[in-house]
Structure 1
Amino acid sequence: MTALTQFERLESDGIWRETSTSDPIEVTVSFGKATLVLNDRNEQPLTHWSLPAVTRLNPGHRPALFTPAPETDETLEIEDDLMVDAIETVRKALTKSAPRQSRLRSVVTLSLIGVFVAAAALWGPGAFRRQTLSVVPDSKRTEIGATILGHYQRLTGPTCRNPIGTVPLAKLKTRLMGRDTKGQIVVVQSLPQGATVLPGGIVLIDRALIEQLDDPAIAAGFIIAAIAGRDSHDPLADVLSDAGLNTTVQLFTTGDIPNDVLGDYARSIQEISLTPAKPSELVTAFDNAKIPLAPYAAIRDPDGAMFGDVASDTTTSVLTDSEWVRLQGICASY
């Protein structure tokens, strides 16, 4: 992995097309752990490409044209000579090292899988899943969440990124999650449950909560509720529970989850019910964030079964009126 380490901080501009008929999107290209990471201009991850699978479509020509797999028409165009050469160097290094390491890796992996399957049988799948969750680093969680988001965008459409709304969205993230908290808020085209959290602290919120409501406290409330649910229930646990024991063993032993598993999970997101925090935890979360509970409760708990009678409370404003209007334009075409 020496070649990858050499270029791990290298970045360049690129032009990404999800399909041959898609509009080109300007992206920032960087290296992840055996992946090529594509972020939009707001530093929101669009997709991850597996470096060993990346294919050069026009060897010897500039700008270089890459694809994540031969059977897809998704492409990435790069003019930067250093980045092009770096990608080629890393791909060759990965491909060259694979045959020498594959036999030993297979023996070791099979042995480890046998040990951990036995451990899972002894502890029970739930205990083994909890042990696995406890050792997954934040960087891996972010990579998993970003990959799921990439699959989800292919199903529902691109995330909303109109520049008019990105600044107030960033302010909303700071307001609700803290300035130094990892993660981000992403406005998606469709999300029936309103908001949910992916691994890595990636919060998805339905564009309808932004566009169709006059009170930013409602959208903020859905985000706070989703984050509170994450704090009481690890989103990565849902991925592993949905995928089964084999995926948990693979994550524990290799640090990876198969791309098709993450794609399957992305397809199920719209059907997943929220895992809500307890009402008392929600009240505490709203209080800590200084977000009024009444607007959220009016939609989620109109009969008062969860919260009882919630008086309109006075708290710090979520966004100014002008910021909220700009945020409501984040899904507009540009």
Structure 2
Amino acid sequence: MTALLQYERLEASGLWRAAPGEQRREVIVSLGDASLTITDMQDRALTHWSLAALERANPGETPAIYHPDGDPGETLELSADATEMLEAIERLHRVIERRRPKPGRLRLILTLSAAAVIAALAFLWMPGALLRHTVSVIPDVKRTEIGEALLSRITRVSGQPCSDRYAQSALEAMSQRLLGNREALVVLPGGVQETAHLPGGTILMNRALVEDFEDADVPAGYVIAEALRADRRDPLETLLQSAGFWSSLRLLTRGELTPETLDAQAERILTAPSADIPDAELVAAFTKAKLRTTPYAFARDVSGESVLGLIEADPYPDGSDSAVLSDSNWIRLQTICGG
């Protein structure tokens, strides 16, 4: 051990006892390469002690008493006069201790590392897991309640839903035809750009969709596209994803969302752009609804260039045998906002 070389062959006198009850003997103590050699006065070796296994029985007291680790009965006393020997033993013992493996420290490091990994996993996994669980257990009646609360906030900006008495039956007929629910569609005088969807199944339509086109297949196409967006990602999940962990926890444990959370989501609904849907999914949804894609496509782009895939893949190019609305109902629906 290089750190010990400066103390090689350092000697001092001391008193050694081989076992409890035996008489102490005057000996010569020699500091060698990481060991103590104890010899009698005739230079005959009595024992060797490893510095790594050396213990001091009375730290800070004199005379200093040492013994081998695990054998306190065999002792060596060094008086205060053996200053250099005492300093050498203490210094070399500290060097050895620093180099000695620390199982306790290793266990602590491993424990802290494991705790950090668990905490990181909990931090990353728990919010998503809680969100998914909350979405899976919230009943339809609560979803509808949340949707109604959002609608009440949206109408502060958009104005109250259009509800002409004669046109309302036409809107219900379209809702039943496309969504299987007579109360799923709501026409607003403003606010939403085209369409939007709420938890509970409600789809919002801007009045322009029923007033600015001559073909009922146009607003019907926008409704089908918006319903597909709601199917692709649960609107309640979208709300909770934006609102954060505590909103999921509050809804799960207390069955409610804060007014601030609802206000923020209502604003997002009014301002967020509609998510794009691949043409193949749109065509499949229109096919299932027995609806042409061409009127919807040209309503989105009058040139047809960006929606060519929808035009070419129209499942009913010659028209569907299942009309969205009768001519009379379509005329009524176009006046739902008093237009």
In 1, the alpha carbon distance for the partners of 2:165 and 2:311 equals 40
Aligned twin of 2:334: 328
Mean CA deviation greater in 143-152 or 264-273? 264-273
The DSSP-based 3-state class of the residue aligned with 2:196 is strand
The DSSP-based 3-state class of the residue aligned with 2:310 is coil
Shift of 1:215: 0.7
Equivalent position to 2:128, from 123, 126, 129: 126
Aligned twin of 1:159: 161
Distance 1:119 1:163, change over 3 A: farther
Describe the superposition over 1:179-232 as per-residue Cα deviations: whole angstroms up to 9, x where unpaired. xx4851000122454112100001101100011111110000000000011111
Distance 1:259 1:182, change over 3 A: farther
Aligned twin of 2:319: 314
Distance 1:288 1:305, change over 3 A: same
Task: Determine if contact 1:160/1:189 at 8 Å carries over to the other structure.
Answer: yes
Structure having the higher Rg: 2
Code of the residue aligned with 1:169 in structure 2: it is L
Describe the superposition over 1:68-102 as per-residue Cα deviations: whole angstroms up to 9, x where unpaired. xxxxxxxxxxxxxxxxxxxxxxxxxxxxxxxxxxx
Distance 1:157 1:192, change over 3 A: closer
Describe the superposition over 1:36-70 as per-residue Cα deviations: whole angstroms up to 9, x where unpaired. xxxxxxxxxxxxxxxxxxxxxxxxxxxxxxxxxxx
Shift of 1:261: 1.2
Q: TM-score, normalised by structure 2?
A: 0.59
Describe the superposition over 1:155-195 as per-residue Cα deviations: whole angstroms up to 9, x where unpaired. 111110110210101100110012xx485100012245411
Aligned twin of 1:139: 141
Task: Determine if contact 2:294/2:311 at 8 Å carries over to the other structure.
Answer: no
In 1, the alpha carbon distance for the partners of 2:259 and 2:121 equals 25
Aligned twin of 1:88: none
The DSSP-based 3-state class of the residue aligned with 2:323 is coil
The DSSP-based 3-state class of the residue aligned with 1:290 is coil
Shift of 1:121: 2.2
Code of the residue aligned with 2:144 in structure 1: it is T
In 2, the alpha carbon distance for the partners of 1:131 and 1:140 equals 15
1:168-247 to structure 2, matched below 5 A, reads 168-178=170-180, 181=181, 184-247=184-247
Task: Determine if contact 1:183/1:201 at 8 Å carries over to the other structure.
Answer: no
Task: Determine if contact 2:229/2:275 at 8 Å carries over to the other structure.
Answer: yes
Shift of 1:267: 2.0
Shift of 1:282: 1.4
Mean CA deviation greater in 158-167 or 302-311? 302-311
Aligned twin of 1:275: 275
Q: In structure 2, list runs of 5 or more residues that go unmatched.
A: 1-118
Shift of 1:309: 2.4
Distance 1:244 1:264, change over 3 A: same
In 1, the alpha carbon distance for the partners of 2:268 and 2:215 equals 29
In 1, the alpha carbon distance for the partners of 2:159 and 2:332 equals 21
Describe the superposition over 1:218-257 as per-residue Cα deviations: whole angstroms up to 9, x where unpaired. 0000000000111111111221122122111111221211
In 2, the alpha carbon distance for the partners of 1:152 and 1:192 equals 9
Distance 1:327 1:138, change over 3 A: same
Distance 1:182 1:328, change over 3 A: closer
In 2, the alpha carbon distance for the partners of 1:324 and 1:276 equals 28
In 2, the alpha carbon distance for the partners of 1:182 and 1:148 equals 20
Shift of 1:128: 2.6
Task: Determine if contact 1:297/1:310 at 8 Å carries over to the other structure.
Answer: no
Distance 1:314 1:272, change over 3 A: same
The DSSP-based 3-state class of the residue aligned with 1:307 is helix
Task: Determine if contact 1:228/1:276 at 8 Å carries over to the other structure.
Answer: no
Task: Determine if contact 1:232/1:277 at 8 Å carries over to the other structure.
Answer: no
**CA-based RMSD:** 2.3
Equivalent pairs counted in the alignment come to 215
Aligned twin of 2:296: 296
Indicate the percent of aligned positions where both proteins have the same amino acid: 37
1:1-12 to structure 2, matched below 5 A, reads none
In 1, the alpha carbon distance for the partners of 2:312 and 2:191 equals 28
Q: TM-score, normalised by structure 1?
A: 0.60
1:66-81 to structure 2, matched below 5 A, reads none
